[in-house]
Chains A and B, each alone.
Chain A
């Protein structure tokens, strides 16, 4: 199946939604998103390179702009496929979740959503830097309108802040990318924006100083999108103000664009720069985990709390990525997927509450499990998944990220030395406890405790209706809402209980991304008087040595431990 289909299909969906009658819009969009899901499943079944770390299809399509070597190269490796599946899985559920929440301008809403899916597909499938940028950047436009038309009371400033922050960051990404391409064209005489050749040129030919600036430029955009700690301030506002569907897709997929960019583009293209900045980002990761966990603690708005918890969780992903070993890398990919599932689902749950009671204040509600037992069950499952309970999807990723950080020392004999180490892991693990605390406090406030239904005291008649709920919806979740949450819950359990499926397919890709790192890390550490006793030569080998194959051992251990 041609990957181009996966981009064209949502585009067709957008056109069909836009020209069709307004009352059909939701169903047109939903059916098209289901078709995209089916297409991506076909693509995943056909995908032959699950265990090799290679790209497929590997054909170089015709150049769209010959003068500068910008080409229509589409394809992906196992990580792209996973993110693709995450996107196509979440979009239909999000659309179905918007059916009752969106009450005006239906046609526009669903059109923007399909456009958003198309540009996400483009970003995840591009193997050309400019093409990636087009998809990456265009996600801003639909998201801007989703927030600023259907959002809360502060929607306009939230949307503008979101747009400006992301635009500011990503234009530096573009400039850094062009710089690498220009240097590469200088050396080879041919312009080529293909990610494969740019990456090869970047890590092999650029000087350390150039790599530093290239990495800083590339990461500037990705850090805003992820978001990394000091540039996160757009996120809580955007999440808080966005409609439920917008929040879900923002948390589940859009944030992954940032970490995907770091994983696929920034790290492999400028490894020396990455190593130079690794401890800096390690500290930022820890700050994100700890500081935002504390911010979560004082939130009274559930949606804002979940939004801040996203930043905290992304801190783990950043730590894992900058550990420079397959354990951390795989952990962060794992965590990206599971965060997409559980946080997306949490936003859906909050949206369902908001549609019924029109409030997100924790003080206004309490003990809702008695009022809505089905909803309560789902809420508890997803919250536990989010705080990393073993057996649910949050745990393997979180654990592997921390473990990767823990073993990322300069004298790591397994061939993947790092610049962080136990101290980073220990401090970050402290954030885990904080995370468990604020999430459990949230559960305690709204799910358990004495029953207090929002608006009940102000309007006793409405409550007296008994089974009849609020906002035209049934008291507890209806069939549609259960059908939305159930697949996500199953996916959460599945990835939590059998993470091996994901870990097996991401390992080759992670090793591929790390090829040039041990050398750079050793050089960096040696310059600071920390010599790796196992030497640099051995560490360049891709496969672990048969005797001391620590990474493989370490990856398999948690698998056996997990129930």
Chain B
């Protein structure tokens, strides 16, 4: 097999990503147009490219790339999830970007200045970030993984900065950028040490080398430290414990649609990257004790700090940031359960978390005051009387996130708990259970204030946001949280299929015959010519 053919094949396998990339280029141009209608078309083009990418993925155009570590199906599941949620995030952000400037334009107060509109960049970066997530699960080597992770993260720094015209957004962006750079440095350092220990950048080779080391009496110190540093670097992306501290400030500073985006897309990238790295380190078979213990501690710390932190908050976005931290802790439990049990549970949980979180944010975004989003819990008082649908989606999202049956979040948590108990970590489940109870405290407040409290002076002037798209997105998220439990079997089947064990070298041939493109290196190894 020639190298050129390989590269072409590789490119073809990236059709969905390429579609999203093209979308981001087009969007970046249309957002700057002088014509108002073209500017308004930006988010439609955005959605269109995401839908096209989904179709490309469903039609399996060009197949999917595989790292040889994870099956292409994981990349399919994660990619489809990112695209679907991406459509929701575009809808949530539509209407709030450039809102005040567009108002001023339409009133004729100012004239159009291309330097003052951010809509194009914003949606372009959003698409690029989604594109990055889609690339993560297919990474064949560390370089690819690094680039994919950075493609996910870098746009989000800018998105935070341009999401609102306030100083707080700028401050949040700068904080986010510097801390992100630090975490990336740790990540790269870890990569370097892993390379030093195994002598390869390819995941397949790393896996072989680490398995060999483990069989010889354990992974060497350089490799172990490298793995732990990678993990800590990734903790930043998924807002897990030692690296979670930035989240409240950044989430608070960014506009609510960006906060919703941040609480899902970088997180899913980090979790998928961790999947890859752990698979390479012999997840489920020969994972070093030190890594297992680190995972355990990180998980427990993350969920506890997240839940306890959230209780103290009066700002909805800060509360949601802590809630998102705690959910990372729950999801890390899946890693402790091992690939066979934990991976399907993780995939289902990601879906449930994304939808419930989306419904909650959708409810928050669909109301505003004087063109500004509402942030304080008191602002929500009496919402159920004035805007029952917004209150309903907030309540539904909270109930699902706290794990109240029969909503989707309960089933995801149930499947996760089952997996972890099955893997023999009952104490961990007990800790998670206690954490769930703590979380009830603040989710009840979030769900209760809009419905129970009478509208006080703090809640004056809260009106429905003019754009219907966030409301529509909230409705879709909310209804799926309500109805998807009836299709749980299918979701579970999809997740289990995605999480099948990786075939060993002899079955790779079969994989290729079914039009699934495997990473070139793997193919080369099975065809030594």
Contacts and interface: CB of A to CB of B under 8 A. Distances in A.
Interface of A: 63-68, 130, 133-134, 137-138, 140-141, 144-145, 148-149, 156, 160, 163-164, 167-168, 171-172, 174-175, 178-179, 181-182, 185-186
Given A138-B406, A140-B404, 8 more contacts: A133-B405, A134-B410, A148-B448, A163-B440, A167-B437, A168-B437, A171-B434, A186-B422
Contacts of B406: 134, 138
Given A130-B414, A138-B405, A148-B448, A67 B437 contact: no
9 closest residue pairs by CB, A with B = A134-B405, A171-B433, A168-B437, A182-B421, A182-B422, A67-B492, A134-B406, A137-B405, A148-B452
A145 B451 contact: yes
B437 A178 contact: no
B421 A179 contact: yes
B430 interface: yes
Given A163-B444, A167-B437, A171-B437, A64 B488 contact: yes
B444 A185 contact: no
Contacts of A182: 418, 421-422
A181 B422 CA distance: 9
Given A65-B488, A141-B404, A178-B421, A164 B441 contact: yes
A350 to B, nearest CB: 24
A287 B404 CA distance: 33
16 contacts: A65-B489, A67-B415, A67-B493, A68-B418, A68-B492, A144-B444, A149-B452, A156-B448, A167-B437, A171-B433, A171-B434, A172-B433, A175-B430, A178-B418, A178-B421, A181-B418
Q: How large is the interface on B (under 10, 10 to 19, 20 to 34, 35 or more residues)?
A: 20 to 34
A175 B417 contact: yes
Given A68-B418, A149-B452, A185-B422, A175 B429 contact: yes
B426 interface: yes
A227 B496 CA distance: 41
B229 interface: no
A65 B404 contact: no
A171 B399 contact: no
Given A67-B492, A137-B404, A175 B433 contact: yes
B436 interface: yes
Contacts of B421: 175, 178-179, 182
Contacts of B437: 164, 167-168, 171
B443 to A, nearest CB: 10
Contacts, number: 85
B74 to A, nearest CB: 17
Contacts of A164: 437, 440-441, 444
A67 B343 CA distance: 14
A66 B414 CA distance: 14
A175 B417 CA distance: 8
Contact of B496 (A67, A134, A160): A67
A366 to B, nearest CB: 36
A175 B416 CA distance: 11
Nearest to A68: B418
Nearest to B437: A168
A168 B437 CA distance: 6
Contact of B489 (A64, A134, A138): A64
Interface string B438-467: 001100100010011000000000000000
A439 B471 CA distance: 55
Contacts of B410: 134
Q: Which of B406, B429, B451 has the most CB of A within 10 A?
A: B406
Contacts of B430: 172, 175
Contacts of B399: 141
B296 to A, nearest CB: 18
A305 to B, nearest CB: 28
Contacts of B492: 65-68
B29 to A, nearest CB: 47
A160 B452 CA distance: 12
Interface string B155-174: 00000000000000000000
Contacts of B493: 66-67
